[in-house]
């Protein structure tokens, strides 16, 4: 319907309209969708509404392959954040009974938990769209992640700070 107005517009206006309505490359729509996912996960004040909106967009997205690429990229980013948070928590530099390290440990665990929830949401979307193949492969090929998880779970600190962490990670 919008395209039917193009002949009535000046050349400059029609080019602008066509650029908005139909992106020249599929990369532009992938970039837009990736930005929406990151915004829904990290920046939007009403995360539940934003995640529901993005989930609906993903289900209705025209290219399943593009959705897979975007979700894989978001998965890699979130997995990296969770891994780094647990790695910092398990690091020997932050171990021990130092008063100044406890807040940093808490922060690392809370960061791992919140990003673990985002990762779980991404995995649920990937399973729903049947594009989780790469995520399964990448998740199973993690070297230090299981060891960091074991070190974190041996401590009792996580029980008081983020009691739901094992459920989210598993």
Nearest to 117 by CA among 41, 50, 58: 41
**Tens digits of residue pLDDT in 39-76:** 888 876 778 888 888 888 888 887 888 889 999 999 99
**Tens digits of residue pLDDT in 5-37:** 777 777 777 777 766 666 555 567 788 888 888
This prediction has a pTM of 0.71
The number of helix segments (H) and strand segments (E) in the chain equals 9, 0
């Amino acid at each position: 319907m919008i395209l039917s107005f193009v002949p009535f517009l000046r050349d400059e206006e029609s080019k602008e309209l066509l650029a908005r309505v139909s992106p020249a490359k599929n990369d532009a729509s992938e970039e837009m969708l990736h930005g929406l996912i990151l915004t829904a996960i990290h920046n939007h004040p009403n995360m539940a509404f934003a995640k529901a909106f993005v989930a609906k967009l993903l289900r209705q997205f025209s290219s399943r392959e593009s959705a897979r690429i975007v979700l894989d990229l978001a998965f890699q980013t979130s997995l990296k954040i969770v891994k780094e948070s647990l790695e910092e928590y398990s690091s020997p530099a932050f171990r021990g009974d130092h008063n100044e390290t406890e807040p940093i440990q808490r922060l690392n665990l809370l960061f791992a938990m919140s990003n673990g929830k985002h990762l779980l949401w991404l995995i649920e979307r990937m399973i729903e769209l049947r594009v989780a193949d790469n995520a399964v492969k990448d998740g199973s090929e993690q070297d230090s992640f299981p060891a960091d998880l074991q070190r974190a779970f041996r401590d009792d600190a996580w029980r008081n700070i983020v009691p739901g962490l094992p459920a989210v990670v598993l």
